[in-house]
Structure 1
Amino acid sequence: MSNQLPVINLMGPTASGKTALACELYELGHFELISVDSALVYQDMDIGTAKPSKAEQTRYPHHLIDIITPLEVYSAAQFVEDACALIDDMHARGKTPILVGGTMLYFKALLEGLSSNLPSADYAVRAEIEDKAAREGWEAVYAELCAVDALAGQKFKVSDKQRIIRALEVFKLTGQPITKLQAEQPKNVPYRYTFHNHALLPDRVELHQRIEKRLEIMWSMGFLNEVERLIEKYDLDENLPSMRSVGYRQALEFLKKSDKSLNKKQEMEDKALFATRQLAKRQYTWLRSLQESHKIQTYFTIKQAQENLRNCYG
């Protein structure tokens, strides 16, 4: 811990146990926690995001939880701005920040910086792109991207839906390919920090078991009731970033568009389980990509991570 302005990044796929691990480190007394989770930023979305309970947040305070409504948008650029302000404040008070979560885009933005002056997300443009995908398929949307930004087409696959949306969005808003703008614009990298990167990567079979158990708990805690309350409180639709969170999109579709039969309910639960497994798969892929550019200490069991992190920071 001798390096100036250290920042500990604790990454991992959903349900890997990273939050519990960060809370253990918090108990040592010289740390503060910053959430790196694009779903935990939303108020009133508690059960489906596996958000720490009020009691847990009182004992282990997390920054960047419950900061916007489900109708608002929170970008990676906003995360970097907020996180850097928090990190600076913690260092000024003699604390070491632990950034914990599974939104790898946020970690990448913090570690590598973001191109400046790219346009903010535009909800209407994104909805237009997604409407085309619903009508014509993602292959047609991908073909449109390749036509206006061949380099992005080479970098992305048809399955990279969010990246395709963002690239097309930037082109529609600026008339310029996102790859050209990214190459031209300087990046704002917070060089004043020394990042200590750690990743918890359980065996896939074990992780799938943990995911299944988490979803069982989620249903038993009344997740559907939570989504019903969200529908009553907010004017929600499936194109909102908040409703793209795994579980919420499937529950919203079930409650708004199905006959709510037991068969449809089981189908919805199966879709949510599949979507969560796919999220974990994407998180593994992100982590492998980050490992190519950054030194990341990887742990395959929670016990291994506990022992090493306590030895490093205890």
Structure 2
Amino acid sequence: MERPVPLVVIVGPTAVGKTAVAVEVAKKIGGEIVSADSMQVYRYMDIGTAKPTEEERQGIPHHMIDVVDPAEAYSVALYQAQARRCIREIWERGRVPLLVGGTGLYVKAVLEPLHFAGAGVDEAFRRRMCAVAREKGPLAVYRLLKEVDPEAAERIHPHNVKRVIRALEIYHLTGRPMSQRLQELKEDPPPYRAVLYGLTMEREKLYRRIEARVDEMLQRGLVEEVRGLLERGYGPGLVSMQGLGYKEMAAYLRGLSTLSEAVYLLKRNTRRFAKRQFTWFKKDGRICWIDVGNYSSIMEVVQEITTGAEGVLKEASKSN
């Protein structure tokens, strides 16, 4: 039987302070960080994704950052395979893996037996559904999904057109709902002995932090970063360019809004995104929540996590 790998997981909404906490935890326990952020996988997209700088990383290795070009297709299945490989290699080097990020589906893909193989691809069907979404709007294809797989529709945001179309494609190819296939295609769970922590804070304080972060991104050159991407041929229709910050600033640079309108939308959309992150993670009963507002310093939060992770690390060291 494969020995379980200890895994410290730190999740939470955007701007709550995951990066700073995770770096300090890694320093204390000899760890390396595996990013669980669906935007930080893209190269050249640094400011808008709040990608940690070299200074912020403080020498701690970070993985699953800058792995694909903004024009390349990327999927949860690819992330799952690559992140799991990183985790195994970190442990084999005698270090402790930390999975850190706010993309709930990425975290779920690492920790749970999500099976993405076997359904196949139908490019013509995808093109037809994309045309429907363009001509009639995202809700048109979402309504189609609700008809054939209401369970999957409950889990997918109506405007996540890519995932909605993939769920419809699975039904089209197999004649069965995606939710049913996921139940049928069970595999053994990955061999992790995981301890999960979620960082949270009072909602209005988080929203103020989000607005301050957006202001900081603008000062650091977010508009220039997006302009550079557009000039290099990364069009607004790319999945990567639909990310927070890029979508709003691309609209401004194309003359579809003023800068003040774009900033307003970015702040509003980021607040809404944080709310969806809360909703996703609150459903996971394994997560031990830490309200960072109840601690006087970041190091107290770090101590809470490292103390809680000690048991998992000791058990792993015994099995080795």
Per mean C-alpha deviation after superposition, the further-off stretch among 111-120 and 63-72 is 111-120
Instruction: Measure the CA separation in 2 of the matches of 1:141 and 1:171.
Output: 13
Distance 1:10 1:154, change over 3 A: closer
1:252 and 2:246 equivalent? no
Distance 1:112 1:313, change over 3 A: closer
Give the letter for the 2:202 counterpart: D
Contact 2:198 2:288 in 1 (8 A): yes
Distance 1:128 1:232, change over 3 A: farther
Give the letter for the 1:97 counterpart: P
For residues 39-85 of structure 1, give each alpha carbon's deviation from its aligned partner in whole angstroms, at most 9, with x where no partner exists.
11110000101111133346222111111110112222222211221
1:308 and 2:304 equivalent? yes
Per mean C-alpha deviation after superposition, the further-off stretch among 55-64 and 278-287 is 55-64
Contact 2:236 2:242 in 1 (8 A): no
Distance 1:4 1:138, change over 3 A: closer
The match for 1:145 is 145
Instruction: Measure the CA separation in 2 of the matches of 1:4 and 1:247.
Output: 39
Aligned equivalent of 1:287, options 278, 281, 284: 281
The match for 1:41 is 41
Kindly report which structure 2 residues correspond to 1:214-293, keeping only aligned pairs within 5 A, or say none.
214-238=213-237, 240-258=238-256, 264-291=258-285
1:199 and 2:186 equivalent? no
The match for 2:314 is none
Instruction: Measure the CA separation in 1 of the matches of 2:204 and 2:23.
Output: 25
- 3-state SS in 2 of match to 1:113: coil
Give the letter for the 2:301 counterpart: A
Q: CA deviation at 1:8?
A: 0.4
Gaps of 5+ in 1: none
Distance 1:142 1:212, change over 3 A: same
Instruction: Measure the CA separation in 2 of the matches of 1:157 and 1:234.
Output: 28
Kindly tell me the number of residue pairs found equivalent between the two proteins.
303
Q: CA deviation at 1:21?
A: 0.1
Per mean C-alpha deviation after superposition, the further-off stretch among 135-144 and 269-278 is 135-144
Instruction: Measure the CA separation in 2 of the matches of 1:237 and 1:178.
Output: 29
CA RMSD of superposed structures (Å): 2.7
Q: CA deviation at 1:253?
A: 1.9
Distance 1:230 1:120, change over 3 A: farther
The match for 2:17 is 17
TM-score normalised over the length of structure 1? 0.86
- 3-state SS in 1 of match to 2:254: helix
Instruction: Measure the CA separation in 1 of the matches of 2:228 and 2:206.
Output: 30
